[in-house]
């Protein structure tokens, strides 16, 4: 194989020269072309986490409820009643950038199979999406394609899409983010893992036939996007949701009959990764003959079969005596269930093609032998400028301008209702969705119990850009408060770290800081990281995205009948802030207000007060238990006034308004307080709640016990949002209908504009 | 009395219908695999929502050729009750058990939302527990729910009271704004001439428990049970 050294095909496959040398050295010979391809995909950043592994090790991953942490197909958390929840988030950014419909669709397919591989029935999806400015024609194309791809695939599966977020900002224009979270439920005894245990057990491929689609998809995912990327459309896989639906039902039946020893999705790097990873986990080897793999195209060689990323396929390790049972179930669902090999004790992945040896590689080298890099980290230049921000650079608006600003914020596509998106998703199928999209975290009942699962995804990339450590911690606390305002207890997170190229020292610094911020917040809130995904090289034309470490959080509601919702319930209820509203210039840092009203992305967001966040979570769960709150809503983009506006919009008839004064928050006579910062400044350690006046003392008491500041700022009223100054002067009064109109039409108007 | 819920490989609302009938209402219910030919155990059948065979061609176009459908024709001839919800309605249209056809929503998008429906005919085995003209809140979730039929067919449906449910606004008016998909005459559900086959796009099984925001759908199943128990309204 002298030609391999001469033509250096590894470079085109995405391997560095040093990595090729390492392969040669460890293998003790030159790899052949097929073997080289297998190394290239498994040693890609996407599969091997070469640049992120040392950092990921610093995240907390253990906790009393964690049944399975990182390393398997998905994390699994105990939710009591002998039930467990498997959940994970994953990115499909690059495929979605060039072929948005299929990119998003197959992103769903992949994460659903990860959950299935744990033995759980997938029961919910959330999508965390980032696009460029809505008025950009390219955004319209990507946005339309991604949303309809999610709808087209997810709706057919019968798995409700219950939540997520959509955020628009310029840095995502050429490189949108499509992160999909899937959750599933199982009994403890149904837990499965991806290990090829038991020498002599049978290796089977179940599901779709294998074609030439998606070859080198994960290599493509590990490179920056450029003008040439459009030509990579051929690397994008094509989804068949009906086939996936059959695969889910068939695999659940196969697992239920006790036939399945190990199971793994054939996603990124297809047969290569699933074979190598299952064998590596079990410390065994595999021998497979790709001539036995059901194929949809003729004349495919070993290289193509091993690297194909054809969708809707699972690798099963089956007890030798249960093979016929698996084949019978496959036939029932009209699926291929083909025997392709056996588990061995060789420690090697041996690939035959109709009996001829095509590749033989130690599985440990393939699956775990990729080098780890700790590149140079350097604080980005831009931070010097963004940190220079001070209140003086922002003109304080007159009170007469506040109404216009509020309506503009509510209509801003980052705050406005995402109904034009989620009404395209079937969010009710399975009849478990108790609180669906559009009102904060999703709440799903668990039939046969009193419990509810609560899920949210969060991350404001603009804040992470301005202060990666604070911003990433902020994503965790925001997710936790989102969960806690329903009355649920945050249990664990899954994360998807979307960053630019780690080979750029400034980007690597962002990644490092963000992981540290996330680790600290997760430790403080006792929400371990049970798994996730890293997506690097998110750059287009040399510009990196906002660093975007998405947090997907699972919470547990002990009694779903006692859940708290965001809308006001009764006129006359008291409205209070729990936590800290700063009201100073620094709280404008990275705020939606600063960008929408002043065109600025600047400042230095505060690191969240983790003790306070923890206290607020305690207060909310206790208040839920006691049933003393009528509503709860956390402060995020748009600050206090937008949070109040949302509680009005979601309010019950006759309780769709609120009159408030920030007086009780301590604004009087303080020089650092500004009205705009009080109303629109952002903090992630505050929530607004409402309750009957008769419950005031109890709520105040629970807050005192947990050292959480408590301030009554107003009352629920019928149909308008009103603000009085500390001096008692009414400076703002907006009918809720007007507020709701801005909120519900904002996104469509922006996309039209 | 036993209900059957037909399971096509791509059905995905089968367990929702089963849950309401069996667990919420407490009537005997069984899944019926699409290759089953013997339906003699059942007095009522549900064709549930979903994507029966992927529906890449036309919704329900393949399902009508499934083995179970041969038996469904006989089941209908015997005067037993069949309700087709969403994809089930589409299958009933493709199978010729109800007149008309489904087009893509006029908004050209999937729509999942709550709608208001007016109960136009309460003298059917599927709606006898509703008040005439009652407005109920029920969710829809479909991409092809734009009901179409030739003018003379529509005229006959209207004249004979076979339009059972219509999309309306909160005050009960069948306005264009209240029509989520462009369906002719705001039609959301129709019944066959004999009165034992009912097709509707909205999902009553998704609103049969108060925790899901409405119990307005439950009376569809309760009406079926009452009719089967009393024999009233059955031909």
CATH of residue A30's domain is 3.90.650.10
By Cβ distance, the residue of B23, B141, B205 closest to A426 is B141
Q: Which residues of chain A have pLDDT under 50?
A: 1
Q: Does A748 touch chain B (CB under 8 A)?
A: no
Confidence of residue B235 (pLDDT cuts 50, 70, 90): low
The question of ipTM being above 0.90 is answered as yes
Q: Does A428 touch chain B (CB under 8 A)?
A: yes
Q: Say what the pLDDT of residue A161 is.
A: 98
Same domain, yes or no: A240 and A337: yes
By Cβ distance, the residue of B10, B13, B111 closest to A242 is B10
What is the rounded distance in angstroms from the CA atom of residue A551 to the CA atom of residue B127? 47
A377 CB burial (10 A radius; 0-12, 13-18, 19+):
middle
Same domain, yes or no: A281 and A309: yes
Same domain, yes or no: A377 and A327: no
> B-contacting residues of A 545-604, CB under 8 Å?
560-561
Residue pLDDT, tens place only, B77-106: 999 999 999 999 999 999 999 999 999 999
What is the rounded distance in angstroms from the CA atom of residue A239 to the CA atom of residue A155? 13
A719 CB burial (10 A radius; 0-12, 13-18, 19+):
middle
Would you state the structure tokens that stand for residue A265, as one six-digit string? 């999705």
Task: Identify which has the larger pLDDT, A55 or B56.
Answer: A55
Which has the closest alpha carbon to A465: A362, A588, A380, A587? A380
Same domain, yes or no: A380 and A364: no
Same domain, yes or no: A239 and A288: yes
Same domain, yes or no: A389 and A359: no
Report how many Cβ contacts below 8 Å link chain A to chain B: 83
Catalytic residues of B: 86, 203, 205
CB atoms within 10 A of CB B134: 16
What is the rounded distance in angstroms from the CA atom of residue B168 to the CA atom of residue B189? 13
What is the rounded distance in angstroms from the CA atom of residue A305 to the CA atom of residue A274? 13
What is the rounded distance in angstroms from the CA atom of residue A149 to the CA atom of residue A379? 38
Q: Does A423 touch chain B (CB under 8 A)?
A: yes
Q: What percent of chain B has pLDDT over 70?
A: 100
Give the CATH fold of the B2-230 domain.
Answer: Rossmann fold (3.40.50)
Which has the closest alpha carbon to A72: A217, A206, A192, A219? A192
Q: Does A719 touch chain B (CB under 8 A)?
A: no
Contact, A230 vs A98, CB < 8 A? yes
Catalytic site residue A598? no
A362 in a structural domain: yes
By Cβ distance, the residue of A156, A560, A561 closest to B51 is A156
- Number of domains into which chain A is organized: 2
Distance (Å) from the alpha carbon of A571 to chain B's nearest alpha carbon: 22
CB atoms within 10 A of CB A301: 12
* Phi, psi dihedral angles at A708 (to 5 degrees): -105, 120
Q: Say what the pLDDT of residue A159 is.
A: 98
A507 in a structural domain: no
Q: Say what the pLDDT of residue A1 is.
A: 46
Q: Say what the pLDDT of residue A229 is.
A: 66
Between the two ends of chain A, the Cα-to-Cα distance in Å is 59
Q: Do A425 and B19 touch (CB under 8 A)?
A: no
Q: Say what the pLDDT of residue B86 is.
A: 97
Q: Which domain holds residue A692?
A: 371-416+564-753
Mean pLDDT for chain B? 96
| Nearest Cα residue in chain A from B112 | A423
Residue that the structure tokens 């001839």 belong to: B77
Would you state the structure tokens that stand for residue A41, as one six-digit string? 């995909």
Q: Do A429 and B23 touch (CB under 8 A)?
A: no
Same domain, yes or no: A646 and A710: yes
* Phi, psi dihedral angles at A483 (to 5 degrees): -70, -45
DSSP A179-238: EEEEEEEEEGGG-------STTPEEEEEESPB-STTTTHHHHTTS-B-GGGGGGGGGS--
Instruction: With beta carbons under 8 A apart, name residues in chain A contacting B49.
Output: 429
Residue pLDDT, tens place only, A442-465: 999 999 999 999 999 999 999 999
- The shares of helix, strand and coil residues in chain B, as percent rounded to the nearest 5, are 30, 25, 45
Same domain, yes or no: A315 and A267: yes
Which has the closest alpha carbon to B127: B37, B219, B21, B31? B219
Residue A270 CA: distances (Å) to CA of A255, A311, B134? 21, 9, 55
Contact, B85 vs B138, CB < 8 A? no
Q: Long-range contact list for A437-441, CB < 8 A, 24+ apart? A: A437/A161, A437/A162, A437/A163, A437/A164, A439/A565, A439/A566, A439/A567, A439/A650, A440/A482, A440/A485, A440/A486, A440/A566, A440/A633, A440/A634, A441/A163, A441/A482, A441/A483, A441/A485, A441/A486, A441/A488, A441/A555
Q: Do B112 and A427 touch (CB under 8 A)?
A: yes
Same domain, yes or no: A245 and A290: yes
A302 in a structural domain: yes
């Amino acid at each position: 194989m002298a030609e391999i050294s001469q033509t250096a095909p590894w470079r085109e496959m995405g391997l560095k020269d040093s990595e090729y040398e390492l392969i040669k050295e460890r293998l003790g010979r030159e790899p052949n072309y097929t073997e080289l391809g297998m190394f290239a995909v498994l040693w890609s950043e996407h599969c091997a986490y070469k640049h992120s592994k040392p950092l990921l090790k610093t995240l907390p991953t253990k906790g009393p409820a964690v049944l399975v942490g990182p390393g398997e197909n998905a994390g699994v958390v105990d939710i009591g009643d002998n039930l467990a929840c498997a959940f994970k988030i994953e990115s499909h950014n690059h495929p979605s950038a060039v072929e948005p419909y299929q990119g998003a669709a197959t992103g769903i397919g992949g994460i659903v199979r990860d959950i299935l591989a744990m033995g759980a029935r997938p029961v919910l999806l959330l999508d965390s999406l980032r696009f460029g400015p809505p008025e950009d024609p390219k955004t319209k194309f990507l946005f339309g394609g991604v949303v309809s791809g999610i709808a087209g695939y997810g709706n057919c599966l019968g798995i409700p899409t219950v939540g997520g977020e959509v955020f628009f900002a310029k840095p995502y224009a050429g490189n949108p983010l499509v992160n999909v979270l899937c959750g599933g439920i199982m009994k403890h005894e149904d837990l499965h893992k991806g290990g090829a245990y038991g020498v002599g057990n049978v290796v089977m491929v179940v599901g779709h036939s294998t074609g030439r689609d998606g070859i080198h998809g994960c290599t493509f995912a590990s490179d920056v996007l450029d003008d040439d990327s459009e030509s990579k459309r051929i690397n994008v896989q094509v989804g068949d949701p009906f086939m996936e639906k059959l695969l889910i039902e068939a695999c659940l039946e196969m697992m239920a009959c006790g036939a399945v020893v190990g199971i793994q999705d054939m996603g990124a790097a297809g047969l290569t990764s699933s074979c190598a990873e299952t064998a590596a986990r079990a410390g065994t080897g595999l021998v497979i003959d790709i001539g036995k793999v059901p194929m949809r195209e003729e004349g495919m060689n070993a290289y193509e079969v091993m690297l194909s990323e054809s969708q809707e396929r699972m690798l099963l390790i089956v007890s030798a005596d249960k093979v016929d049972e698996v084949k019978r179930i496959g036939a029932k669902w009209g699926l291929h269930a083909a025997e392709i090999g056996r588990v061995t004790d060789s420690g090697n992945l041996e690939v035959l093609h109709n009996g001829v040896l095509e590749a033989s590689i130690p599985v440990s080298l393939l699956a775990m032998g990729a080098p780890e890099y700790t590149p140079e980290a350097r604080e980005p230049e831009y931070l010097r400028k963004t940190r220079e921000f001070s209140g003086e650079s922002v003109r304080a608006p007159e009170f007469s301008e506040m109404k216009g600003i509020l309506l503009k914020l509510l209509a801003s596509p980052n705050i406005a209702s995402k109904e034009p998106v989620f009404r395209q998703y079937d969010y009710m199928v399975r009849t478990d969705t108790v609180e669906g999209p559009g009102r904060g975290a999703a709440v799903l009942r668990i039939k046969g119990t009193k419990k509810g699962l609560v899920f949210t995804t969060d991350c404001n990339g603009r804040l992470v850009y301005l202060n990666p450590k604070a911003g990433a911690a902020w994503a965790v606390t925001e997710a936790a408060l989102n969960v806690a305002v329903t009355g649920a207890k945050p249990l664990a997170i899954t994360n998807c770290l979307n960053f630019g190229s780690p080979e750029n020292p400034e980007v690597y610094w962002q990644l490092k800081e963000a992981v540290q911020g996330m680790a600290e917040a997760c430790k403080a809130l006792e929400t371990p990281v049970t798994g996730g995904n890293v997506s690097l090289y998110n750059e287009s034309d040399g510009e990196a995205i906002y660093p975007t470490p998405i947090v997907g959080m699972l919470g547990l509601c002990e009694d779903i009948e006692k859940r708290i919702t965001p809308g006001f319930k009764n006129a006359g209820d008291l409205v209070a802030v729990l936590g800290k509203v700063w009201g100073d210039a620094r709280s404008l840092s990275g705020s939606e207000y600063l960008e929408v009203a002043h065109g600025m992305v600047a400042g230095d967001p505060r690191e969240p007060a983790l003790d306070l966040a923890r206290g607020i979570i305690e207060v909310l769960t206790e208040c839920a238990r006691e049933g003393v709150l009528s509503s709860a809503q956390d402060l995020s983009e748009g600050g206090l006034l937008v949070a109040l506006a949302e509680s009005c919009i979601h309010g019950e008839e006759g309780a769709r308004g609120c009159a408030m004064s920030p007086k009780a928050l301590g604004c009087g006579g303080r020089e650092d307080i500004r009205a705009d910062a009080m109303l629109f400044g952002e903090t992630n350690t505050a929530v607004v709640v409402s309750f009957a006046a008769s419950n005031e003392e109890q709520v105040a008491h629970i807050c005192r016990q947990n050292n959480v500041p408590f301030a009554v700022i107003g009352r629920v009223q019928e149909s308008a949002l009103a603000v009085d100054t500390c001096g008692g002067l009414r400076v703002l009064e907006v009918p809720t209908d007007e507020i709701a109109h801005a909120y519900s039409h904002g996104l469509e108007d922006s996309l039209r504009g | 009395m036993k209900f059957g819920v037909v399971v096509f490989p791509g059905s995905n609302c089968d367990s929702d219908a089963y849950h309401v009938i069996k667990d919420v209402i407490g009537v005997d219910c069984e899944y019926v695999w699409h290759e089953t030919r013997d339906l003699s155990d059942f007095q009522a059948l549900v064709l549930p929502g979903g994507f029966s065979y992927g529906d890449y061609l036309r919704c329900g176009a393949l399902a009508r050729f499934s083995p179970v459908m041969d038996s469904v024709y006989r089941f209908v001839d015997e005067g037993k009750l069949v309700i087709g919800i969403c994809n089930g309605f589409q299958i009933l249209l493709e199978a010729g058990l109800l007149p008309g056809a489904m087009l893509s929503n006029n908004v050209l998008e999937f729509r999942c939302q709550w709608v208001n429906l007016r109960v136009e005919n309460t003298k059917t085995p599927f709606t006898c527990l509703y008040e005439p003209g009652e407005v109920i809140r029920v969710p829809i979730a479909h991409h092809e729910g734009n009901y179409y039929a030739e003018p003379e067919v529509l005229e006959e449906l209207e004249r004979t009271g076979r339009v059972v449910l219509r999309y309306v606004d909160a005050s009960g008016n069948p306005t264009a704004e209240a029509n989520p998909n462009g369906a002719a005459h705001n039609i959301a559900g129709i019944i066959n001439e004999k009165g034992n086959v009912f097709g509707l796009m909205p999902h009553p099984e998704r609103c049969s428990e108060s925790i899901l925001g409405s119990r307005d759908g439950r009376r569809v199943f309760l009406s079926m049970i009452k009719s089967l128990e009393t024999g009233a309204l059955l031909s």
